[in-house]
Every structure is written in structure tokens, then in C-alpha cells.
Structure 1
Amino acid sequence: MLLTNARSRPLLKAIRHKLWSAVQNVERPAESGVHIDPAEVPPVDMSTRSRWHREAAASPEMAAFHEVLRVDGRSVRESVLDDLATFYETTPEEARRRCLHWEQISVQEWAEAGGDEGDRGRVEFYRTTRSWSYDLMWWAYLQSEGHADPSNVVAVRFLQEWAPGRRHLDFGSGVGVTTQLFAALGWDSTMADLSSTLLDFARFRIERRGGHPTAIDLLDQTLPAGGYDAITAIDTLAHVPDINETARTLHAALGPDGVLVTNLDIREAAPETVWHLHDDAKRAEYDLRRAGFVPLATMGYDMTGYRKVPASGPRFRLFVFTSWLLLVSPPRRWAAAATRPLLRGLYRLRERLRGGRRQDG
């Protein structure tokens, strides 16, 4: 009776979601692999996507996202490839090849920059990478076609509800598509990145569309104190050496009650993930909280919205202590280690069941 009671279903659904999220995090592939080409696969059946994905895909914000990717009346695909081919002086066909195989090229760039030799090599990689332009532009294209989680659209929809104002910073802005989307929706948006090559490409794209981007080069510029009402850091924090230090910087850059939207893209160590500097999502979450960020809500693409609070006082110290107990204390770590084999077994069972259903179909 309990399992069929209508009132129990939301709770059971939430428990199931948390369980499968934990399973997927345990077994998440280290490498991203070769990107798919939407032109070579069937269109996405949106009925198979989650509710938040479907709502984002059908939203006015997604329509705006399509528009900021287009140039000169071309399709999103043609525009993405033309942006890359024009800026990097190659052909659309070669641009497509680099988009699909960006990860292999990134591994080569990392080795050439001396990324394994410490901070100097890592910064040199970020300052000179070209492969990430191809990856990020193709990822935006995949989002527009429904093949990737629409993180940019989800973030702006959340912040339009929760942010106290419309001053926005995209921290780790990459090719600038997030800034473009926010600006198109009436925000005062600023790009910030350590990569000079990505900032140059982003300026080119935005100016090509008649925009006038504001950009901060994080190598030699600092963020203004209290300068923003909202900050997005999507797929960014995994690449900073000290998450707590970076979180404190973002905390200072937000005004009162400012909101941060971010995710923690934690990967296991592999040649294809050398630029992912962290392997403990709980530690990263704790670093955010002790910097003065209190979780507001979770959303698609494993993103969380955080409210800035004063990082002082008895209530804040109690919050930090509680977070330590729940996230990184020795008992919490022992429990995580004990349940890891169970989660792996559940993941493999689910994959076998999925395989059986596919064969029956």
C-alpha cells in the first residue's frame, strides 16, 4: 500500500533521484570522448528528457539562446562553424573535425604547455588553448539541439527569479555564450576568464554580432568588490587550484544577498582529465559553504544556486560546523567508503536492466 499511495510518490521519487545521482557520480566516465554530430543522429525525443530539460527547451530563454548563437541569418550549426573557421582561419569542415575531437587535441595542448609541471604550465595551457573554443562552441550547439543539458538557459531562468538585481558576471566565461544570453535578456553582463585565447575569440564573436562586450582578464585584473548581483561559474570550479580561495573571491564580488550558480564537475584522474584538479565533490561543496555560500536550490546539470551570507557570527559558525559534519568529517568519509561498493553494484544492475529493455524493444 505504501508504495502505491499517491502522497508517497513525490518522496519516493526524490529518494530515487538522490540514489541514482549518487550511483552516477560513482561511475561517471573520466573522459568526455568524441562529441556527437546532431546531423548524423536522430533528433532528440524530448519526452525522454527530464521535466526541467523539457521546460528549458521550450522556454523564451532557449529561443534567445538560439538567436545569440546565430550570425547573418544562418542556422546555429552554420554560425558555430563559421565563427570558428573565420577566427582560426580554417575551413568549416576542419572546424567540425576539431569540434568533435577537441579532447584529443586538448591533451596535446596540455603536454606542449607543460601542464603537468605546476601552476606555470597550467596557466600557460589556459592562456594558449584553442581546443576549448571548439569544445565550448560545439557544446553550445548540442544544447541548442537538445543533445546536451541546457545549462546556460537553466542558470538564467533561475537567476531571473532569485537574483536581487541584474548585474551579472560569468566567471570562467569561455567563448562568451553565457554572457551573450544574459545580455540579450536585459542583464548587464561581464565576462571573466584566465584564458586570453578564449577571451579574444569571445570578443570576436560578440562584436561580430554588433555587441560591445565587457571582459576581465583574470591574470592581471581583479573583480570589483560588491560589483555583481549574480555570478555564474558553470564547469569552472573544477579547474581552479583552491576552490575555497576562489569562492571567497566570488563572495567578495557579490553585493548583499547576491546569488552564485555553479556546479562541481568532479572527474577521476585520467590523461583526458588532467585539467580537472579535484576529485572530491563533498570537499568542494564544503569549501563553498565555509566561504559564505548557503545553498538555495538545485537545478539541472547538477548546478546549485547559493545565496551570499555574511561569513561571520555564531549562526554562520554553526552552519560551517554542521556542513563539516555532513560533508567532510571522518564519519562521513567512512560512510561514503562503505557504501561505494553498493553504489557500484546498483549502477551495474541498472545498466544490465537497461540493456535488457533495449533488446526486448
Structure 2
Amino acid sequence: MSHRLCSHVRDMLPRYLCGNLADKDGIREHLAECSSCRDRWNRYRWEAASSSTAYTELRTFLGEDFVPYLDSSATLAEDWREQGPPDAEGLAQFFRQSAAYLYNLVIWQASGNRPDYAAAGIPLLDVARARTVVDFGCGVGNDTLPLLDAGFDVTACDYDSPSTDFLRWRLRRRGQDGIPVVEPAQTYGMPCPDALWIIDTLDHLPDIEVALSHLLAGVRVVVCEDLAVRRGVTRKGFHRSLDPDEVARIFERHGLLPASRDPASPVMGWLR
């Protein structure tokens, strides 16, 4: 790896953090191959996150178990390689047990590297006049909390895990411990919400129709991330490659049609 290329990539880290580079894929590929730049990128994100409320909350929540500068993406990729390709239940267990994923979700958001999905997606909820929302794949609550702050009636949904333990802790600190945090299977027995909010989750699902058909049949709007954007810099195997056209066909079979969008928006939406 040339020193000049490494210097160039490191100079680009501030802009890469904010997602405003034209050649994001080129930077991503370099970070996947160059351990030195990868280490620099990990430290850069941690330091960008260190002044945030979420970082302070994570450190308080974990106490003496807190591991600063953990490269959670690399840890997740290694854990995945050691486990081997799982079946659907094995995938669920992977997320139920992963402390590295807790770090990954917090540092991604707290560093400013995660797009502001809530700001981009809430106007779609307003267009659909949605008030009740299932945040499917809620993780640590990166979107659950701003949706609650915006006045929506939110049910958080994810596997019981270190991530949802942290979310419940955050809700208690905010006096919102009555907010439901449910497992995916529990969504089958609940009234259908107005909106399905599903960010950073579709590409984890072994079968989208099996996991979501009961919700897709009744919701008025679906909000997900821009499915054309490539993911990750460590090639974690639990992100499936999605065909955006196939996802659109699944949604359309349930009466949900693509909403108009700004090509620069980090979200996509479907409306009934």
C-alpha cells in the first residue's frame, strides 16, 4: 500500500465521516485492505464520538466493562468468521449475544458517521399521517429516541441483546420506561402500526416476506435506508447483498408504492 495513498485517505477521513465524498467507495475499499488506515479511521470515529451524550451514556451503562477504542466492526467480522454461516436461528443468536454490535451502533451514531435518518424520514411519516410506528431492528434506539421526541407512538423491536438492554436503560433515564421494546415474533400479535420504520435491517433478514408480510399488509408507509448505498468497510458477512428492485417488488405486492424522493436523501419510502 503506497504511503501517498494512505496519506490521501487519512486526509479524507473528516469528509468521509460526514458521507459527503464523491468517491466513498474508493475510501471504503482502501479501509478494508489497509490495517494502518483502518486503525486510524477507528480512532478518528471514537474521538469524534467522545463528546456526545450517547458516548457518555454507553460508558456509564457499561461501567468497568467499557472498552475504549474497540474496533467493533473488525470484532463483528471476526466473530462472524469464527461462527460460520448460520441458519436463521443462528443469525438471531449472533445478534442476541453480541456486545460488539452495541459499540458499533453507538459509535456509528455518536461520531456523526450515521446519516440523520430520522430527520430525512419523518416527513414521509407526516405525508402518510402516521402516528404509530414500529422501529423494526431498533438496536440501541438511534431512531427510536428521535421518533419519540417528534411525538410518534413508537414500539421498538429487536432481538433481546446488549443493544436493547442499553435502549431500555436509556428509556428509563428519560422517564420513558413504558415504551414497549419487543422481539420480532411479538409483532405478530400486536395491532398493525401506521408505519414500518426499518433502517439498517432489511439486509439482515434471511427472508423479507417471512419476516415482514404481516406488517407490510397493513402499514400505510415504510421507511428504510437508501438501498443503493454500499455498506461497511470490513466486509461483515451478515449484511446480505440486496437487490433494490426485488425489495420494491416485495413492497408493491403488498400495495406499497415508491414515494418520490430527493436522490441525495439517505432514506427511501413506500406509501399505500
TM-score range, shorter chain: 0.7 to 0.9
Deviation of 1:178 (Å): 1.2
2:94 aligned with 1:125, yes or no? Answer: yes
Instruction: Work out which of the residue numbers 100, 109, 115 in structure 1 matches 2:79.
Output: 109
Deviation of 1:110 (Å): 2.1
* Matched letter for residue 120 of structure 2: V
Residues 1-361 of structure 1 correspond to what in structure 2 (within 5 A)?
Answer: 29=28, 34-35=41-42, 37=44, 77-90=51-64, 94-95=67-68, 97-98=69-70, 101-112=71-82, 114-143=83-112, 147-160=113-126, 162-212=127-177, 213-218=179-184, 220-224=185-189, 226-254=191-219, 258-263=220-225, 264=227, 267=230, 272-299=235-262, 300-308=264-272
Deviation of 1:260 (Å): 0.8
Q: Give the superposed CA RMSD.
A: 3.3
| Equivalent residues of 2:120, 2:266 under 8 A apart | no
Could you tell me how far apart the structure 1 residues matched to 2:122 and 2:164 are? 21
> Which structure is richer in relative contact order (CA contacts within 8 A, separation 6 or more)?
2
Could you tell me how far apart the structure 1 residues matched to 2:43 and 2:117 are? 18
Deviation of 1:239 (Å): 0.7
Compared CA separation, residues 278 and 223, structure 1 to 2 (3 A): same
Counterpart of 1:305 in 2: which secondary structure? strand
* Matched letter for residue 188 of structure 1: D
| Equivalent residues of 2:224, 2:267 under 8 A apart | yes
Deviation of 1:195 (Å): 4.5
Could you tell me how far apart the structure 2 residues matched to 1:187 and 1:26 are? 35
Counterpart of 1:77 in 2: which secondary structure? coil
Could you tell me how far apart the structure 2 residues matched to 1:207 and 1:298 are? 36
Deviation of 1:40 (Å): 5.9
Could you tell me how far apart the structure 1 residues matched to 2:242 and 2:23 are? 14
Counterpart of 1:137 in 2: which secondary structure? helix
| Equivalent residues of 2:140, 2:167 under 8 A apart | yes
* Matched letter for residue 189 of structure 1: V
Could you tell me how far apart the structure 1 residues matched to 2:231 and 2:180 are? 35
* Matched letter for residue 169 of structure 1: V
Deviation of 1:159 (Å): 1.8
Deviation of 1:249 (Å): 2.8
Counterpart of 1:283 in 2: which secondary structure? helix
Give me the identity figure in percent. 25
Counterpart of 2:111 in 1: which secondary structure? helix
Could you tell me how far apart the structure 2 residues matched to 1:83 and 1:277 are? 31
Deviation of 1:244 (Å): 3.0
Compared CA separation, residues 108 and 188, structure 1 to 2 (3 A): same
Could you tell me how far apart the structure 1 residues matched to 2:234 and 2:52 are? 32
Could you tell me how far apart the structure 1 residues matched to 2:246 and 2:24 are? 14
Unaligned runs of 5+ in 2: 1-21, 33-37
Compared CA separation, residues 266 and 289, structure 1 to 2 (3 A): farther
Specify the alignment match of 1:342 in structure 2.
none
Deviation of 1:269 (Å): 10
Deviations 1:85-135 (A, max 9, x none): 23223376x33x02xx111111133245x2513223212111111122112
Deviations 1:187-236 (A, max 9, x none): 11110012432211110112122222211112x42345653112211111
Compared CA separation, residues 125 and 177, structure 1 to 2 (3 A): same
Counterpart of 2:64 in 1: which secondary structure? coil
* Matched letter for residue 37 of structure 1: Y
TM-score, structure 2 normalization: 0.74
Compared CA separation, residues 243 and 29, structure 1 to 2 (3 A): farther
Deviations 1:235-277 (A, max 9, x none): 11011011233342321352xxx11111336658996230112
